[in-house]
Structure 1
Amino acid sequence: MKFKYLFLLAVVCATLHSCQILSTKKYKALLATQDSLKNRTVSLEEQVAALQGDTARLHRQIADLKGNITTLNGQVADLNTKYNDLNNTYTATTSKVNQLSGDLKKREARLKEVEEILRKRDEATNALKDKLQKALLGFQQSGLSVDIRNGKVYVSLTDKLLFPSGSIVIDEKGKAALKQLAVVLNKEADINLSVEGHTDKQKVANLGQIKDNWDLSVLRATSVSRYLTEVEKISPERVTATGKGEFQPIDPGTTADAYAKNRRIEIVLTPKLDELYNLISK
C-alpha cells in the first residue's frame, strides 16, 4: 500500500511541477492511468502473496524431503550393516562348504579304497571256497560242508567225521580230511583260522575229567588245532581254538537229527585285512 501512495504522490508532484493546466481530456486520461496503475498494483500484491505462499509451501516440502533423506540415510546405514553381516556369513559359509567338499572328496577316495579291498577280499574268499570244495570233495558225503558267511569261509565237519563217539581223539578219516584242508591252507599264508568246537545240549556222561559240553567243545577244538599246527605244520600264529559248547546250535530241535547237526567242528577262515584296518584307522 505504501508503494501505491508514493506512486500517486509522485504523479501529483510531477503534474504540479509541470505547471500546466490539464484539460478535461487529459485529466480523464490521467485518472484512467491512475486506475490502471492501481489495478496493476493490486495484481502485483496478489502475485507477491501467492509467491510468499508458494515459498512457504516449498520450505515445508524441503523440510519434509530433508527428513526423508535423513530416514533413508539411516535405512542405507542399516542395509550396509546387514550387507556386511550377510557378506561375512557368505564368506564363512563358502569357506565351510569348500572344507566339507575337500573332506567329502577324501572320504569318497577312502570309500573307493575300502570297496576295492572288500571286492578283492570277496574274490579271494570265493576263490578259496572253490579250492576247498575241490580239495575236500571226497568228504562232503561224510558230513563236511564249505560255505561263505559274512565274508568268511566256513568249513564245517560233523563230529562223526572227526571223532569216535564221546572222544576228543581224531580218527583216521578225520585226519585225512584235515590233511586235505591243510594242503590248501599252507598255500594261503594270508588266511587265519578259528577252530570252533560245538556240541548238542545233551549232558556229557562217562567222559572222565570232561565236566560238560563246554569242556568237550574246547578240547575237540584244541585237538584239531594241535593236529593242524603240529602235524600239518600250519603256523600256530594263524590259529585260534574256541569252544562254543551247546550255545550256538544250527538246529534248535530236540530230535536225533538236530543233535547230530549241532555236534560239529567249524573251521572259520578269515583273510588278513591289515590293509583294510590300516585304511579305516587313518
Structure 2
Amino acid sequence: MIKKISLLVLTFVLLSSCVSPKIYKELEGKYNNLKQENRKLSDENDMLLSAKTAAENELDQLQSAYDKAVAERDKLQSDYNATKANYDALKDSYDALEKNSSAAIAANSQKNRELLAQLEAKEQALAAENQRLEKLKKELEDRSNRVADLEKVIADKDAAMTALKEAISRALTDFEGKGLTVEQRDGKVYVSMENKLLFSSGSWAVGTEGRRAVKQLGSVLGQNPDIAVLIEGHTDNVPYQGNAQLSGNWDLSTKRATAIVNILQENPAINPENLTAAGRGEFAPVATNDTPEGRAKNRRIEVILTPKLDELSKLLNDN
C-alpha cells in the first residue's frame, strides 16, 4: 500500500510539470484522499499490532495455564491411580476377611462367653471374699472388745490381789521374822508359814502363836469373799515315825492343812465353799532337804489365795 502511494506521488509530480491546472487539482485531491487513507490505515495497523501483542501475551498466559492444568491433571491421575491401587488392595483384604468372618466371629463370640463366665465367677468369688472379710472384721472387733474386757477384769483382779497382799502383810506384821512370808506371784498371793510357827514336831495341833496368826489371816479373808483359799501342807523328806494313826508324811501334811481350815472356819465371815485343804507331803520342796535349815523351810503351810474368775469365765463363755 505504501509503495502504491509513493508511485502515485511520483506520478503526480511528473504530471504536474506537464498537466493542466484542472487535472492538477484532481490529482492533488486524490493525493490528499490517499494520504488520509494511508494515515487511517497506519492507525489501523498500529491498533492491529497492539491487539496482536495483547493476543500473544494472552496466548502465553493461556499456554502457561494449560501447562499447569496438564501438570495438575497428571498429578491427580497419579494420585487417583495410587488411591485406586490401595482401594483394590483393601477390597481384596476385605473380601478375604469376609470369607473367614463367620468362623472368626463364632470363635470370638465363644471366647467372649468364656471370658464373661470367668468374670462372673471372679465377681462372685470377690463378693464372697468381701462378705467373709466383713465377717472377719466384725469378729475381730468383737474379739478386740473381748480382749479389752478381759484385760480390764484381769487388771482389776491384779489390783485387788495387790491390795489383799498389802492387807495381809499389815495384819501379820507381828509375825515377820517368825517363819512367815507373804508374796504375790502370777496373779496369786502366797502366805507361807513354817511349822515352827504353827506345830510342834510330829503334831498337827496348832499352837497358841500359830492360832493367832491364822485368826488374823482369817480376819482379812473374811473381808474378801471372792477369794478362793487353798491350804497346802508340806513336810521334809524325813520319814514320819510319830503317831501310829498316821500313815506317813503325806497323811501328816493333810492333817496339818485340815487343822488350818478348821481354824479359818471359826470365822463366820469366811464361806466354807471357798476353802480347800490339800496335803503335798515331801513332794513340793522349796529348799534342799540336805541341811537342817532347808528341811525347816520345807516343813510349812502354804495358803494360796486366788481370785475367783467367774467374770472371766462368763466373758469367755459368752463368746
The alignment's TM-score, normalised by the length of structure 2, stands at: 0.69
Pair 70,163 (structure 1): closer, same or farther in 2 beyond 3 Å: same
User: What is the aligned partner in structure 2 of residue 69 from structure 1?
Assistant: 105
Question: Of the two, which has the highest radius of gyration?
Answer: 2
On the 8 A contact 2:237/2:289 being kept in 1, the answer is: no
1:234 has 2:270 as partner: yes
Shift of 1:232: 6.8
On the 8 A contact 1:148/1:154 being kept in 2, the answer is: yes
Pair 252,63 (structure 1): closer, same or farther in 2 beyond 3 Å: farther
Aligned partner (choices 261, 276, 301) of residue 265 of structure 1: 301
Aligned partner (choices 119, 136, 155) of residue 191 of structure 2: 155
Q: How does 1:104-123 map to 2 (within 5 A)?
A: 104-123=140-159
Shift of 1:231: 5.7
Q: How does 1:243-282 map to 2 (within 5 A)?
A: 243-282=279-318
User: What is the aligned partner in structure 2 of residue 16 from structure 1?
Assistant: none
User: What is the aligned partner in structure 1 of residue 130 from structure 2?
Assistant: 94
User: What is the aligned partner in structure 2 of residue 78 from structure 1?
Assistant: 114
Shift of 1:128: 0.5
On the 8 A contact 1:251/1:259 being kept in 2, the answer is: yes
User: What is the aligned partner in structure 1 of residue 77 from structure 2?
Assistant: none
User: What is the aligned partner in structure 2 of residue 178 from structure 1?
Assistant: 214
Gaps of 5+ in 2: 1-86
On the 8 A contact 2:226/2:307 being kept in 1, the answer is: yes
Q: How does 1:197-236 map to 2 (within 5 A)?
A: 197-230=233-266, 234-236=270-272
- The one-letter amino acid paired with 2:137 is S
Q: Per-residue CA shift, 1:98-130, capped at 9, x if unaligned?
A: 111111111111111111000000000001101
Give the RMSD, CA atoms, in angstroms: 2.3
On the 8 A contact 2:193/2:302 being kept in 1, the answer is: yes
The alignment's TM-score, normalised by the length of structure 1, stands at: 0.78
- The one-letter amino acid paired with 2:260 is V
- Say which SS state the counterpart of residue 167 (structure 1) adopts: coil
- Say which SS state the counterpart of residue 147 (structure 1) adopts: strand
Pair 178,52 (structure 1): closer, same or farther in 2 beyond 3 Å: closer
Find the aligned partners of 1:160 and 1:232 in 2 and give their Cα distance: 27
Deviates more, 1:195-204 or 1:179-188: 179-188
- Say which SS state the counterpart of residue 142 (structure 1) adopts: coil
- Calculate percent identity across the aligned residue pairs: 37
Find the aligned partners of 1:54 and 1:124 in 2 and give their Cα distance: 93
Q: Per-residue CA shift, 1:175-208, capped at 9, x if unaligned?
A: 1111111121111122221111011111001222
- The one-letter amino acid paired with 1:276 is L
On the 8 A contact 1:179/1:232 being kept in 2, the answer is: no
Pair 113,254 (structure 1): closer, same or farther in 2 beyond 3 Å: same
Shift of 1:64: 3.4
- Say which SS state the counterpart of residue 266 (structure 2) adopts: helix
User: What is the aligned partner in structure 2 of residue 166 from structure 1?
Assistant: 202
1:133 has 2:169 as partner: yes
Shift of 1:55: 5.6
Q: Determine which structure has greater relative contact order: mean sequence separation of CA pairs < 8 Å that are 6+ residues apart, divided by chain length.
A: 1
- The one-letter amino acid paired with 1:218 is T
- The one-letter amino acid paired with 2:250 is W
Pair 107,55 (structure 1): closer, same or farther in 2 beyond 3 Å: closer
Pair 242,56 (structure 1): closer, same or farther in 2 beyond 3 Å: same
